[in-house]
Amino acid sequence: MNQLLKIRDITTRYNLSARTLRYYEDMGLIESVRSRDYAYRMYDGVNVKRLEQILILRKLNISIKDIKRIFHASGSEIVLEVLEKKVEGIDEEIALLHELREIVLEFIQQIESADFGKEADIKYLYEKAREIKTQIVHANYSGNTAAVNRLFEVAEKLDSKIPDIMIVRIPKFRAVTSKLMIFEKLFSGDFEAWQEAHSHFFRPVIFDVPDFLCEKDGKVEWIWALLDEVTADDIKPYEAVEYPGGLYAVSVSRDGDGESHEKVRDKVAKWLANTNFVPDNTRALMGHMIYVDEEIKEGLGYHQMNLYTPIKLKKDSITGTAGL
């Protein structure tokens, strides 16, 4: 296959975002070329084949760091090592789930012999389990005490697979905007160079970070918070917007990895389902990098990206208020 494929062709064929393609390229997994007749990046047959291999490995939940090791290896030893470790991890999780199943079944037997009455709420059940754990030493408990202790150990190990999520409130702020556009156009245009040359215009909003990349309808907008003294004339040819701020669920993903973003946001959505918050679809999803640190990147194999999911209280969703 000698035909060069455009980014749009690749993203359509493999259901990827341009941002994910750029991430794979930044990580050294694929390479693009440029044509005299086309200003943007294109991909030849070798790199399309490499991309297909990456997608297969990612479906197997192989990390980018391990994929790089596989591609840089001359033989099959590394890929076999990586896959064997993956099987070991799966076996460990299966064993934990089986053990948790046995513990839950034993709990069911204990509950069936107890009088819970109106106290059937799942939160109460968790509290009851903690009471049982506490009362083991102080009462004649007829159940399996080891199973109760093991329940919490297994649950903690399984919970460690859930992403850490924090709820924050971002204050209102004034920002210069790139305007909404496709990702490729934003990072091949003039805005990035302009903001680098005018870094003295900006101020931090949260976590000492002044900027957010906002995503809406398949396009992105880059906004930078402005100091109060910066005027509309100072930022020409760009414009200022008043950003409303509000409540957000914050989680950590891999910078530029659209697939990772989707997985993290899916887990955030499931986590929110067990809270009194719901997603606020009137505001854009956002992200920013707290640390652009090469030592951290070397250790992890990627830059960290904080993802911001706009949220509001369920009661505000019912009444129609914004919850800001």
Q: Which of 16, 49, 42 is nearest to 257 (CA)?
A: 16
CB 35 within 8 A of CB 78: no
- 203 vs 181: CA distance, rounded Å: 24
- 191 vs 12: CA distance, rounded Å: 26
* Beta-carbon-side half-sphere exposure of residue 317 (alpha carbons within 13 Å): 12
> Residue 125 — pLDDT band, cuts 50, 70, 90?
low
> Residue 144 — pLDDT band, cuts 50, 70, 90?
low
- 264 vs 283: CA distance, rounded Å: 18
* Architecture of the structural domain at 5-72: Orthogonal Bundle (1.10)
Cross-strand bridge partners of residue 285: 215
pLDDT for 116: 52
Which run of H or E residues covers position 308? strand 304-313
Tokens for 11, please give them: 């993203």
More reliable by pLDDT, 89 or 140? 89
Residues with Cβ within 8 Å of 247's Cβ and at least 6 positions away in sequence, in order, are: 167, 168, 169, 277, 280, 310, 311, 312, 323, 324
CB 161 within 8 A of CB 271: no
Residue 96 has pLDDT above 70, yes or no: yes
Report percent pLDDT > 90 for the chain: 26
pLDDT digits (tens, 9 = 90+) for 64-90: 888 988 998 888 888 899 899 889 888
pLDDT digits (tens, 9 = 90+) for 194-216: 988 999 999 999 888 899 999 88
Q: Provide the CATH topology of domain 166-319.
A: Multidrug-efflux Transporter 1 Regulator Bmrr; Chain A (3.20.80)
* Residue type present at position 286: M
Which range (46-50, 117-121, 156-160) has the least confidence?
A: 117-121
pLDDT for 139: 40
pLDDT digits (tens, 9 = 90+) for 150-188: 655 655 555 545 557 899 999 999 999 999 988 878 877
Q: Which of 174, 175, 171 is nearest to 206 (CA)?
A: 171
pLDDT for 159: 54
User: Do the two domains 5-72 and 166-319 of this chain adopt the same fold?
Assistant: no
pLDDT digits (tens, 9 = 90+) for 216-268: 877 889 999 999 999 999 999 999 999 989 999 999 888 877 777 888 888 88
Output DSSP code: residue 203.
Answer: -
Report percent pLDDT > 70 for the chain: 77
Q: Where are the domains of the chain?
A: 5-72, 78-159, 166-319
pLDDT for 241: 93
Average pLDDT, rounded, for the chain: 80
The dihedral region occupied by 39, where left means phi > 0, alpha psi between -120 and 50, and beta the remainder, is alpha
pLDDT for 38: 63
- Cα dist from 171 to 158, 242, 243, whole Å: 35, 11, 9
